[in-house]
Amino acid sequence: MNQFRRTFLKGASASGAIAAAIAAGLLKPGQVLAAEWNKAAFTATKLEDALKAVNGTNAAESKQIIVKAPDIAENGAVVPVEVISNIPNTEAIDIVIETNVNPLTASYQLENGAVGYISTRVKMAKSSKVRAIVKAGGKTYTAAKEVKVTIGGCGG
Amino acid sequence: MAEPMKIRATMEGDVADIKVLMNHIMETGLRKDPKTGKLIPAHFIQQVLATLNGKTVLDSQWSQAISKNPFLGFKVKGAKVGDKVTVSWADNMGEKNSIETAIK
């Protein structure tokens, strides 16, 4: 089991095997997802590495995902972000802030009836696209919203 | 000792709307202490787990970029009034906390 988790965290190359194992009923998704903190993904400093770590590199742009965030954030320390995914069977939502030191901000696995909806508050170092990556039915989708951060909180 | 959390769970049609507030410093590890000039060590929530009647509904992992005193909102379909919702977190220093409520 632990070995399986490790393999799972190593990402894309292993995901096929995991999917097969789930399909074969060897693993319940819940067991796989109760994983250790994904250090490699969260400490990635380059956007491309962070996207790769959550399998979001080739995600298709989708209008069914809504990223709600302010156009201008006066205080980068508290930026409210809502992600709504209208894609059926949304299994996971990842939030990536493209220009942050560690772009991957949060990963949410939705199970047992949880709806494709997450509301949170994030820190932003500077103006950036806030990107949501949604996994549904074995595919990845994405949408983003530009948020301007005004330093000093003068209201820009 | 971790500070108390707040939770509110209400039904909106057939979907439960759950809102949670956690008390946590969410220190990034990138800030310097103005007096000593040394970096303040990172201290942030890494994992948050939510269950409905004991079944996992939301399994999340966070970075230090979640704001101080984090807010989390999520929705669960098929829940009903009286169902038990539990939300627990664990941070990178081994601290943890949890709260339970019944859906109203």
Q: What is the pLDDT of residues A106-125, one digit of tens each?
A: 999 999 999 999 999 999 99
Backbone angles phi, psi at B20, to 5 degrees: -130, 135
Q: What residues does each domain of chain B span?
A: 6-102
B66, A120: Cβ pair inside 8 Å? yes
By residue count, chain B amounts to 104
Three-state DSSP state, A90: strand
Do β-strands A90-97 and A104-110 pair in parallel, antiparallel, or remain unpaired?
antiparallel
Give the Cα separation of B72 and A119 in Å (integer): 6
Reduced to 3 states (helix: H, G, I; strand: E, B; else coil), residue A2 is helix
Confidence of residue A74 (pLDDT cuts 50, 70, 90): confident
Task: Output the CA torsion sign for A33, A35, A39, A42.
Answer: positive
Instruction: List the structure tokens of A82.
Output: 């809502």
pLDDT band at residue A22 using 50, 70 and 90 as cut-offs = very low
User: Does position A134 have pLDDT exceeding 90, yes or no?
Assistant: yes
pLDDT at A31 over 50: no
Task: Report the C-alpha gap between A18 and A20 in whole angstroms.
Answer: 5
Spell out the alpha helix ranges (H) of chain A.
Answer: 2-9, 12-23, 29-33, 39-42, 47-53
Q: What is the mean pLDDT of chain A?
A: 82
Q: How far apart are CA A24 and CA A3, in angstroms?
A: 18
Q: Which of A20-34, A63-77, B38-52 has the lowest mean pLDDT?
A: A20-34
Contact A106 B63 (CB under 8 A): yes
How far is B44 from B61, CA to CA, in rounded Å? 11
What are the pLDDT tens digits along chain B (104 aa)?
Answer: 467 899 999 999 999 999 999 999 999 998 888 899 999 999 999 999 999 999 999 999 999 999 999 999 999 999 999 999 999 999 999 999 999 999 99
Kindly tell me if the per-residue pLDDT of A87 is higher than 70.
yes
Q: What is the pLDDT of residue B69?
A: 95
In this structure, the strands spanning A72-73 and A139-149 are parallel
Asked if A64 contacts A88 with a C-beta cutoff of 8 angstroms, the reply is no
Contacts 24+ apart (CB under 8 A), A31-37: A31/A1, A32/A4, A32/A5, A32/A8, A33/A109, A33/A111, A33/B56, A33/B59, A34/B49, A34/B56, A34/B59, A35/A5, A35/A8, A35/A9, A36/A5, A36/A9, A37/B46, A37/B47, A37/B61, A37/B92
Chain B closest-CA separation from residue A76 CA (Å):
9
Interface probe, candidates B63, B84, B87, chain A, greatest A C-beta count within 10 A: B63
What does A34-68 look like in DSSP terms, one character per residue? SPPP-HHHHT--SHHHHHHHTT-TTPEE-TTEEEE
pLDDT at residue number B2: 65
CATH class of B6-102: mainly beta
| A130 pLDDT more than 90 | yes
- Cβ within 8 Å of B, A 93-152: 97, 100-102, 104-115, 117-124
Q: Which residues of A touch B68 (CB under 8 A)?
A: 77-78
| The pair of three-digit structure tokens given for residue B24, joined into one six-digit string | 């946590």
Radius of gyration of chain B measured on its C-alpha atoms: 16
Calculate mean pLDDT across residues A61-72.
96
Domains of chain A: 58-149 (2.60.40.2470)
